[in-house]
């Protein structure tokens, strides 16, 4: 008994020490990141963003995630040379650094005025403007989905410009200190933000039930999710969008942000998807999940350097999710 108690005490001590070390590491990384952002804040926006992108293109290849990035790219683009793969990876690191730095300049970067003839940093086509306005005027619930492309944070701000209130589901960073800092830097005009924690699906369902609009990021790994195919490889995706669309029979719209040269952006919203149906006429959740995954793949292929290839998108968990067909 004494020996067993000693063993349990040692394991408990080891576990608590590991937790304290991880907490300290998160705190240290966050302090460094916040310090860098504070320095960048002192610079003009263009200078700060260009500097962040330039540094990341040098530092990114030195990180452990760079190897994963190259491996994912090689499997996605087996026809590309090593030089082409490396160039995409460098573009990605630059894009991710700019995204991080843009949090502190959101109020200065977002200058969208759809009714002005003077071009600004953000452009939206007449077709997309018409869709934004149509959705905003429609009192029915809608789902708008996107991926981690360009500065996806600008999409809910644009929606608010057209009078569309969107509650966006997002996955907070693993580092809680960085998550808190990013949350504090988000513009108040971005609409409601909901972390993808336990109970989030019920909260989104309540919003749709009241005729509201929800925004969902659909390109991350989802543990125990539905098996889908992305760039020809099996991965697991969140079935939430398809399940909500089936239950509420709401329209689903793809939207994305494209990063342009000169720290400019193009925001696009596409016509609603024709959702696949099962034999009973209801929305097919699995086929819908694959459909939105295909849309993201099309976007990524348009400009692969704007997507986060260091994400473990193709890592599979042990248990698979099955969707029971409903009438």
- pLDDT score recorded for residue 298: 98
At residue 173, the pLDDT reads 65
Q: pLDDT at position 205, please?
A: 83
**Amino acid 172: pLDDT:** 62
**Residue 203: which pLDDT band, with cuts at 50, 70 and 90?**
confident
Q: Is residue 141 very low, low, confident or very high in pLDDT (cuts 50, 70, 90)?
A: very high
pLDDT at 325: 46
The CB density around residue 178, as the number of other CB atoms within 10 Å, is 19
Segment among 66-70, 111-115, 275-279, 289-293 with least mean pLDDT = 111-115
Question: Does residue 14 or residue 69 have the better pLDDT?
Answer: 69
How many angstroms separate the CA atoms of 230 and 257, rounded?
20
How would residue 211 be classed by pLDDT, with cut points 50, 70 and 90?
Answer: confident
**Can you give the pTM of this predicted structure?**
0.84
User: Using an 8 Å Cβ cutoff, are 130 and 114 in contact?
Assistant: no
Tell which residue, 291, 278, 14, 26, has the closest CA to residue 172: 26
Asked if 289 and 244 touch (Cβ cutoff 8 Å), the reply is no
Tell me what pLDDT residue 234 has.
Answer: 97
For the cut 80, the answer to whether the pLDDT of residue 120 exceeds it is yes
User: What value does the mean pLDDT of the chain take?
Assistant: 85
pLDDT in tens, 21-80: 777 777 777 677 777 777 778 889 999 999 999 999 999 999 999 999 999 999 999 999
Q: Which pLDDT value is given to residue 40? A: 79
296-313 pLDDT, tens digit per residue, is 999 999 999 999 999 999
Q: How much is the pLDDT for 283?
A: 96
- For residues 110 and 264, give the distance between their C-alpha atoms in angstroms, rounded to a whole number: 10
Average pLDDT over residues 86-110: 90
Bridge partners of 278, per DSSP, are none
Q: CA dist 131 to 140, 250, 322, Å?
A: 14, 15, 34
Query: 196: pLDDT confidence band, cut at 50, 70 and 90?
Result: low
Give the pLDDT of residue 4: 59
Calculate mean pLDDT across residues 104-126: 83
Largest Cα–Cα separation, the chain: 81
Residue 178: its pLDDT value, please?
Answer: 65
Query: Average pLDDT of 217-225?
Result: 90
Give the residue-averaged pLDDT of 145-155: 92
pLDDT, mean of residues 206-212: 87
Degrees to nearest 5, angle at CA 171 with 35 and 215 = 120
Work out the percent of the chain whose per-residue pLDDT is above 90. 53
Distances (CA, A) of 107 to 176, 186, 251: 24, 9, 30
């Amino acid at each position: 008994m004494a020996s067993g108690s000693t063993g349990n005490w040692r394991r408990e001590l080891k576990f608590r020490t590991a937790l304290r070390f991880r907490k300290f590491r998160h705190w240290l990384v966050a302090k460094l990141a916040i310090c860098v952002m504070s320095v960048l804040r002192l610079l003009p926006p263009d200078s700060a963003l260009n500097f962040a992108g330039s540094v990341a293109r040098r530092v990114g290849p030195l990180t452990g995630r760079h190897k994963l990035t190259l491996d994912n790219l090689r499997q996605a683009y087996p026809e590309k040379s090593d030089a082409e793969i490396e160039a995409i990876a460098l573009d990605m690191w630059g894009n991710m650094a700019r995204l991080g730095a843009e949090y502190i300049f959101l109020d200065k970067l977002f200058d969208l005025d759809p009714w002005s003839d003077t071009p600004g940093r953000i452009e939206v086509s007449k077709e997309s403007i018409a869709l934004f306005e149509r959705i905003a005027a429609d009192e029915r619930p809608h789902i708008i989905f996107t991926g981690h492309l360009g500065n996806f944070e600008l999409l809910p701000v644009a929606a608010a410009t057209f009078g569309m209130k969107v509650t966006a589901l997002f996955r907070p960073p693993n580092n809680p200190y960085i998550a808190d800092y990013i949350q504090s830097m988000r513009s108040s005009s971005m609409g409601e933000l909901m972390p993808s924690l336990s109970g989030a699906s019920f909260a989104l369902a309540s919003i749709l039930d009241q005729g509201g609009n929800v925004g969902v990021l659909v390109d991350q790994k989802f543990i125990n999710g539905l098996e889908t195919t992305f760039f020809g490889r099996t991965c697991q995706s969140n079935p939430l969008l398809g399940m909500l669309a089936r239950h509420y029979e709401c329209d689903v719209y793809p939207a994305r942000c494209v990063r342009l040269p000169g720290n400019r952006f193009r925001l696009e919203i596409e016509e609603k998807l024709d959702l696949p149906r099962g034999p009973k006429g209801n929305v097919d959740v699995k086929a819908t999940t694959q459909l939105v995954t295909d849309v993201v793949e099309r976007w990524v292929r348009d400009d692969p350097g704007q997507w986060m290839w260091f994400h473990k998108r193709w890592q599979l968990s042990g248990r698979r999710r099955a969707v029971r067909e409903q009438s």
